[in-house]
Copies of this chain bind each other. A is one copy, B any other.
Amino acid sequence: MQDKGISQAVIGRLPRYLRYLGDLKENGVERVSSQELSKLMSVTASQIRQDFNNFGGFGQQGYGYNVDYLYTEISKILGLDRQYNFVIIGAGNLGRALGNYLNFERRGFIFKGIFDKDPELEGREVRGVKIKNISELESFLKANNIDIAVLTIPKTGAVGLVDVLVSNGIRAIWNFAHVDLDVPEGVQVENVHLSDSLMKLSYNISRYEGSKN
Contacts and interface: CB of A to CB of B under 8 A. Distances in A.
A72 to B, nearest CB: 14
Contacts of A24: none
Interface in A44-88: 77-80, 82, 84
A112 to B, nearest CB: 15
Interface string A4-27: 100010011011101100000000
Nearest to A6: B207
A12 B204 CA distance: 11
Nearest to A11: B203
Given A94-B94, A97-B92, A12 B200 contact: yes
B199 A15 contact: yes
Nearest to A42: B180
A192 B176 CA distance: 12
A135 to B, nearest CB: 24
A193 interface: yes
Contacts of A186: 208
Interface stretch (A31-39, A102-110, A116-124, A136-144): A102-110
Number of copies: 2
Interface residues of A, number: 62
A158 to B, nearest CB: 13
Contacts of A4: 211
B78 A202 contact: yes
A198 B174 contact: yes
A192 B190 contact: no
A205 B147 contact: yes
B200 A8 contact: yes
A212 to B, nearest CB: 8
A201 B188 contact: yes
Given A11-B200, A93-B100, A103-B178, 14 more contacts: A1-B207, A12-B200, A77-B203, A79-B206, A79-B207, A80-B202, A92-B100, A93-B93, A97-B97, A107-B202, A188-B201, A188-B204, A190-B198, A190-B204
